[in-house]
Chain A
Amino acid sequence: MTNSARLQWVYAWLLLSPALVLLVTFTHYPAIKSIIASFYSTARGKRQSVYIGLDNYHTLVADPVFWKVLSNNFWYAVWTIPLSIALSLIMALWVNEKLRGLAFLRMAYFTPTVLPLIAVANIWLFFYTPGFGLIDQIRGLFDLPEQNWMGSPNTALYTMIAVAIWKEAGFFMIFYLAALQTIPPSLRDAAAIEGASKVYFFRRVVFPLLMPTTLFVSINAVINSFRLVDHIFVMTEGGPNNASSLLLFYIYETAFKYWDTAYAATLTTVLLMILTVLAIGQFFFLDKRVHYK
């Protein structure tokens, strides 16, 4: 071993250590700690936390709210991920086309990224409000009856999904737009000369070139489908009867409203497991499709 190699190690470790310390403290340690805590009871007053084996997991399996929340989160992901990605791609294509009013279009699509969801949720609440809310005012023009969108278990989750898509699409658009602009215009001209239709050109040339972006954006969309719960705090608080509650919101309620930190840790562990499965899947996918390394 040479001296310079050893020096490299020392430098590398010095450079890495501040970031690693924080990363371990606030990501790896709490993740492992959650798993450990899920095998203990919650300490309350004079009662200490004790090891209770799989009790929390038994509670979890028997907890109808947990299953409800899990299935809600599944549908939330199933709708928000593809729809927000598809919409963002369409937006980017439009903006890239230099349509009339380009500046206005770009601003309109991008605005939700900058407005805090927690504040805008109040506005969405007005839109959905039965009777005098915006949607019902418009429906009223067509003599349609009022609809209690947020107050019905059948539609409450979809009101949340719509808000999430609205929030995300413009943000993802920026990434697609950047990618589209790196596609050389000569490619399009060549395709036009060859007589290829726009659809064909998009399917065979543009879309494959956008693949890395799609992967990047989809990772973000997946994370957001577990993370984006701000609007629930304002709009439905998970109701009615947990119809619009999501996993992270339930974790929050359990930990900071019911003060049951052990059960919250158990729920966190489940979320970690879901993310791990997704991560493994995506790494395989990433490795195959994109050569990041």
Chain B
Amino acid sequence: MLTSLLKTASAAAIATLTTVGVAQAVDLEFYFPVAVGGAAADTIEALTAEYVAANPGVNIEAIYAGSYTDAGTKALTAARGGKPPQLSVLLSTQMFTLIDEDVIVPFDDYVADADKDAWIGGFYPSFMENSQTGGKTYGIPFQRSTPVLYWNKEAFAEAGLNPDVAPATWDDMVEFGKKLTKKDDAGNVTQWGVRIPSAGFPYWMFQGLSTPAGAILANSDGNEVNFNDPKVVEALEYLVALSAEHGVMQPGAIEWGPTPKAFFEGETAMMWTTTGNLTNVRANAPFDFGVAMLPAKERRGAPTGGGNFYLFKDSTEEQKQAAVDFVKWITEPEQAAVWTIATGYVAPRPDAWETDAMKAYTADFPPALVARDQLEFAVAELSTYENGRVTQALNDGLSAAIAGEKSAQEALDEAQAAAERILRPYK
């Protein structure tokens, strides 16, 4: 199936070539990270090879740069050393850092006005929130994801719940959770209602609560945060109460790594995790499972996540133009479909979902559609200047509240104060 898709893709490439016309004699270097195992790296390399084969004037070297962190470090180091790649896929949240380091340029200048609406305007707006600032487009969505709720249908049936209905609201989730939490004779829990991982980088999952509560954590200029907004406090109080008050979630920080395993083992009946896990859960869950949007409070909502294409500053005009042309090609519906089907990432454009390949894929595996439908309600992943530090301030606050060391209000007030201190030079 992949080969036939690639053939379609290369046909599309040739079509692009004939419309673009001129073949530039340029060399490009392109770094990409991979956060999911398996076919991702191969797929990018195959797509790049297709493009190069169809465009003799361009030579693109796709370099697998490890995890997101590795790729970020590598790209930034190379840029500081004066030898950046022309193009790189990096975390969407690194946009402000890359701007601050003065190593990237916006895409706008290399896209014909006529194409702007059709191409840049063609992505899901929720993905573009992490890609644009100050009226310029610095990132093009590529390997993007969003967290969703997975539930164990067998456990639901056993608890007397309708196995085909996921909790739609926060109250539902508590109520379902209570029914799903099982204890043995000694009073020890053998199955939790829900698992929301909170170790390492709790802020991302937490955005799946703060967004429905009606809060937006940072402004689009990346220099202001609202960590102690009453709605954020409410969201954190709810998260803490899941363990402390309702007893439907394991107390303490919950690790990311073992989360899918906990779900497979029946240790938890529901889990929140990224859409990037769809393929894994599909292959390994020993029971029927469902995938749903995160439950709503004031509204539905979730963060987006994942990586964008960035265009590096230190390169010739020709290289930049060639790089943008390549990005344009690889995000076209046919190629985006190949990429999504191979990796499980969310195709970033509505028109990609209209391709025959995607239609066939979603008909066979409808849960893939949940992520797309959630995009309507999704917002930007928390991203600011000094992103690592600011995010860490929130992470620390969230962890302190989850551990019961501080109240939600207190923890978030401190996080807000810390973040404001860090962001002061950027006002």
Contacts and interface: CB of A to CB of B under 8 A. Distances in A.
A240 B399 contact: yes
Contact of B199 (A145, A151, A257, A259): A151
Interface string A125-151: 110011111000000100111101011
Contacts of B69: 257
B290 interface: no
B265 interface: yes
Contacts of A150: 199, 253, 255
B388 A148 contact: no
Given A237-B199, A259-B388, A131 B267 contact: yes
Contacts of A195: none
A145 B69 CA distance: 37
Contacts of B76: 259
Given A126-B258, A239-B200, A258 B386 contact: yes
Nearest to B102: A45
A236 B396 contact: no
Contacts of B99: 45
B251 to A, nearest CB: 6
26 contacts: A44-B102, A45-B101, A65-B396, A125-B257, A129-B262, A131-B189, A131-B262, A131-B265, A132-B261, A132-B265, A132-B267, A146-B250, A150-B255, A151-B253, A153-B399, A153-B405, A156-B253, A237-B199, A239-B253, A240-B198, A240-B399, A241-B396, A241-B405, A253-B388, A253-B392, A256-B73
Given A44-B101, A131-B192, A145-B188, 12 more contacts: A125-B257, A130-B252, A150-B199, A151-B199, A152-B403, A156-B253, A236-B199, A241-B399, A241-B403, A243-B403, A253-B388, A257-B388
A150 B262 CA distance: 16
Contact of A144 (B102, B188, B257): B188
Interface string A108-139: 00000000000000100110011111000000
Given A132-B261, A236-B199, A240-B402, A143 B253 contact: no
A151 B100 contact: no
Interface in B238-280: 250-255, 257-258, 261-262, 265, 267
Interface in A226-272: 236-237, 239-243, 253, 256-260
Interface in A131-186: 131-133, 140, 143-146, 148, 150-153, 156
A46 interface: yes
Interface residues of A, number: 36
Given A132-B262, A146-B189, A153 B403 contact: yes
A137 to B, nearest CB: 11
Q: Is the interface of B mostly helix, strand, loop or mixed?
A: loop
Interface of B: 69, 73, 76, 97, 99-103, 184-189, 192, 198-201, 250-255, 257-258, 261-262, 265, 267, 386, 388-389, 392, 395-396, 399-400, 402-403, 405
Most B-side CB within 10 Å, residue of A44, A143, A237, A240: A240
A243 B200 CA distance: 12
A153 B201 CA distance: 16
A125 to B, nearest CB: 6
A129 B258 contact: yes
Contacts of A133: 258
A253 B387 CA distance: 12
Contacts of A259: 76, 97, 101, 388
A257 B100 CA distance: 14
Nearest to B265: A132
Nearest to B69: A257
